[in-house]
Amino acid sequence: MVLIKLKGRTISRGCARGEVLLSIDPISFLGSVDPKTGVIIEENHALEGKSIQGKVLVFPHGKGSTVGSYVMYQLKKNGVAPSAIINLETEPIVAVGAIISEIPLVDMLERNPYEVLNNGDFVVVNGSKGYIELIKQETNKTECN
């Protein structure tokens, strides 16, 4: 059952699904993430200590060195990359990293993802067609409703 479908802008093609992991902080793939484990290692980062492996990673935008694109490729080769990415607005380092790593990426959704999505929600990101689908909301949230 599809709860919500939101249109966005295609950045990196492909389609993948996974659990939402929200980061209120921007991410620099060079320095913020351990490319071997996919764990966020930047001190005081909103996701410090959490693994991004297989998650639909939601963060506002990237930051830091252009080498970050290659770190994303290393994450993919090591099997610890996020399954898909949603940004508020993608910047070039993350865009290029997602494309060479074949991680679907959509940005500029028609509604603010931080108001619609919660950690643990199950989401499909269709980068080729430029939309996301919220399939199942996190259990607690559903019960509250």
Residues 109-138 that bind other proteins (CB under 8 A): none
Check residue 132 and report its DSSP letter.
E
67 binds other proteins (CB under 8 A): yes
Residue from 22, 57, 71, 86 in contact with other proteins (CB under 8 A): 71
Residue 9 within binding range of other proteins, rule CB under 8 A: yes
Binding residues for other proteins, rule CB under 8 A, total: 22
By CB under 8 A, tell whether 42 contacts other proteins: no
Asked whether the beta carbons of 107 and 87 are under 8 A apart, the reply is: yes
Q: Is-catalytic flag, 51?
A: no
Nearer of residues 22 and 71 to other proteins, judged by Cβ: 71
Q: Is 131:117 a contact under the CB 8 Å cutoff?
A: no
Q: Catalytic: which of 23, 28, 51, 65?
A: 65
What is the DSSP-derived secondary structure letter of residue 119? Answer: T
36-44, 50-58, 84-92, 116-124 -> range binding other proteins (CB under 8 A):
84-92
Strand locations in the chain (E): 4-7, 9-12, 15-22, 56-59, 84-87, 105-107, 122-126, 131-136
Residues 6+ apart with CB under 8 A from 110: 6, 7, 8
Positions marked active-site: 65
Interface residue list for other proteins (CB under 8 A): 9-13, 35, 66-67, 69-71, 73-74, 77, 90-93, 95-96, 99-100
